[in-house]
Structure 1
Amino acid sequence: MRVLSIQSHVAYGHVGNSAAVFPLQRLGHEVWPVLTVNFSNHTGYGAWRGPLIAAEDVAAVITGIGERGAFASCDAVLSGYQGSPEIADVIVDAVVQVKAANPAATYTCDPVMGNATSGCFVNPAIPPKYRSTVIPVADVLTPNQFELGFITDRESLSGASSLEDILAAADEVRGLGPATVLVTSVVRAGAPEDVIEMIAVTGDGAWLVATPRLPMKANGSGDITAALFTAHLDDTASPAGALARTASSVFAVLKATLDSGERELRLVAAQDAIASPDCEFVVERVR
């Protein structure tokens, strides 16, 4: 698979393309990274250096890739943190160009906006652009539960929620365009407190997987999840299979990070689990 990945970049640590590119390459995929920011480190440190990349410069890089005739062989577009609302239009234009050259190509949007702990941490103009411009052209959407609630105006999803409410919100989002919705960081009412869940929802059903909840905060875990789910869904054509593989690899990366005592994800240390996931967690069909 060949992936056009339009995301942020950090020199130190692993978020955005700095989290997505290596796992995709370790699975044997070709990745064309396009940067929306070029920061020294992720913003969770409270201080960072480096520029937001202007939308016209991001567009110029994408145009240059297209001029090489690459879009006809592009299998997927992947986007994450956008940096500015203008980037949304650049991403949508890239998706249109890629799909014109290869109608079989898919677009995975990770709508990075915030989380239940921090709230919405992006430019306030970005969420409306997701709803009006980006989500309608996405084939796969990978929000965390908080972002799913933000997109659908369901404030209750910022806390423990029923499976029915989560599925209803996912169906609402699917009605906007995406065929597949992967909800991450699920906090389901009635679930054991020592697990965290993900739910994949399509028109054919819904599947849930639970992994142990680790005592850590891991910047970049959502970026890895979106990248791996995109790759595994393309490879298996099975939401359940993609969910099992993704959950296994992401948990292995997080566990390696926790065991190391380091703050940044241990992608290289856990690369074997990325390349050959054990699929040790049971995926349950819930609809």
Structure 2
Amino acid sequence: MLPECQPQPEPECRVLSIQSHVVRGFVGNKSAAFPLQVLGFEVDLVNSVQFSNHTVCDPVMGDKRNGDGYMYVPENLLPVYKGKVVPLADIITPNQYEAEILAGKKMNTEKEAIEVMDVLHAMGPDTVVITSSDLPSALGDNYLVTLGSQRKVIAGGLRVTERIRMEIPKVDAVFVGTGDLFAAMLLAWTHQHPNNLKIACEKTVSALQHIVTRTISNAKALAGVGKKPSAAQLELRVVQSKEQIENPEIIIHATTI
């Protein structure tokens, strides 16, 4: 008589997501929760604020506007981010402006960007992805550059750093919630591929590009021929892109630097 097999519980991955919430649209927790759930995570949500829809209120530290840096949060919070928040993080996803003010260094070249990421590594995080930068692209002015760096331990206890670069086509539209969506999917894919930043970033960026492309196409159809889509029409088509979130076709490739 064969022994009875004891059923095994399914592995559980759980994320505590503390972000803003909107009733309508996709930003903050609304943008992050669905892709994490689709990719197998239990998500516990704490809404830092609740609005009817997104406004100029943004959870990021700052960004560039017309080439100039602009802080969304009071400048006296910068030491809190540098001294308390970033050192606790395993993964950070700043834009170029945020990376520069956190590191205290400008990045006008790829070499300087690597130096900035090394400063951020020294603050604590093992994975740093600069989500967008205005570094020159070999493919031309119509591309943004994303850079990533991951410190990891390989066989024999040797510590190495993997660096990647991605060229992403620019789109002629303004979206809200793409950063939150990027961070959520990167968290999921780095969990799936903990020692392969290249694949994790390719899946994250490709999925985001699928969503953005779908959103623009739908927004233009809603707006009508010759009309510019409104902000409401450009709400990210996250739920409709479930298949691309779960199993993204790789359309944006990373190169190792």
Given the two structures, how large is their TM-score scaled by the length of structure 2?
0.80
- 1:263 corresponds, among 207, 230, 234, to 234
Give, in whole Å, the separation in 2 of the partners of 1:135 and 1:257. 32
Structure 1 residue 190: deviation in Å?
A: 4.4
1:186 aligns with 2:144: no
Name the SS of the counterpart of 1:269 in structure 2. Answer: helix
Letter in 1 for 2:148: A
Q: Cα–Cα, structure 1 residues 271 and 220, in superposed 2: closer, same or farther, change >3 Å?
A: same
Structure 1 residue 126: deviation in Å?
A: 2.6
* Contact kept? 2:96, 2:132, Cα under 8 Å: yes
1:227 aligns with 2:184: yes
Give, in whole Å, the separation in 2 of the partners of 1:139 and 1:281. 25
Q: Taking every aligned residue pair, what percent have the same amino acid on both sides?
A: 32
1:243 aligns with 2:243: no
Letter in 2 for 1:38: Q
1:43 aligns with 2:55: yes
User: Which is greater in Rg?
Assistant: 2
**Partner residue of 1:166?**
113
Give, in whole Å, the separation in 2 of the partners of 1:211 and 1:123. 31
Structure 1 residue 124: deviation in Å?
A: 2.8
- 1:206 corresponds, among 151, 163, 166, to 163
Give, in whole Å, the separation in 1 of the partners of 2:188 and 2:83. 26
When the two structures are aligned, how many residues end up with a matched partner? 218
> Aligned Cα RMSD in Å?
1.6
1:135 aligns with 2:86: yes
**Partner residue of 1:215?**
172
Name the SS of the counterpart of 1:125 in structure 2. Answer: helix
Letter in 1 for 2:217: D
Give, in whole Å, the separation in 2 of the partners of 1:179 and 1:27. 22
* Contact kept? 2:206, 2:251, Cα under 8 Å: yes
Give, in whole Å, the separation in 2 of the partners of 1:252 and 1:143. 22
Name the SS of the counterpart of 2:125 in structure 1. Answer: coil
Structure 1 residue 260: deviation in Å?
A: 1.7
**Partner residue of 2:100?**
149
- 1:2 corresponds, among 4, 14, 31, to 14
Structure 1 residue 245: deviation in Å?
A: 0.3
Give, in whole Å, the separation in 2 of the partners of 1:173 and 1:29. 27
* Contact kept? 2:63, 2:97, Cα under 8 Å: yes
1:177 aligns with 2:177: no
Alpha-carbon deviations, 1:154-183, whole Å to 9, x = none? 3x44xxx21111111111011000011011
Give, in whole Å, the separation in 2 of the partners of 1:270 and 1:127. 36
Give, in whole Å, the separation in 1 of the partners of 2:169 and 2:19. 28
Structure 1 residue 275: deviation in Å?
A: 1.0
Name the SS of the counterpart of 1:214 in structure 2. Answer: coil
Q: Cα–Cα, structure 1 residues 4 and 253, in superposed 2: closer, same or farther, change >3 Å?
A: same
Letter in 2 for 1:283: A
Give, in whole Å, the separation in 2 of the partners of 1:114 and 1:41. 20
Structure 1 residue 254: deviation in Å?
A: 1.0
Structure 1 residue 211: deviation in Å?
A: 2.0
Given the two structures, how large is their TM-score scaled by the length of structure 1?
0.72
Structure 1 residue 16: deviation in Å?
A: 0.8
**Partner residue of 2:246?**
275
Give, in whole Å, the separation in 2 of the partners of 1:222 and 1:139. 17
Name the SS of the counterpart of 2:136 in structure 1. Answer: coil
* Contact kept? 2:22, 2:50, Cα under 8 Å: yes
Alpha-carbon deviations, 1:137-165, whole Å to 9, x = none? 111111011110121223x44xxx21111
Name the SS of the counterpart of 2:239 in structure 1. Answer: coil
Name the SS of the counterpart of 2:141 in structure 1. Answer: coil
Give, in whole Å, the separation in 1 of the partners of 2:208 and 2:135. 19
Give, in whole Å, the separation in 1 of the partners of 2:28 and 2:85. 18
Give, in whole Å, the separation in 2 of the partners of 1:123 and 1:170. 24
1:22 aligns with 2:37: no
Letter in 2 for 1:3: V
1:121 aligns with 2:72: yes
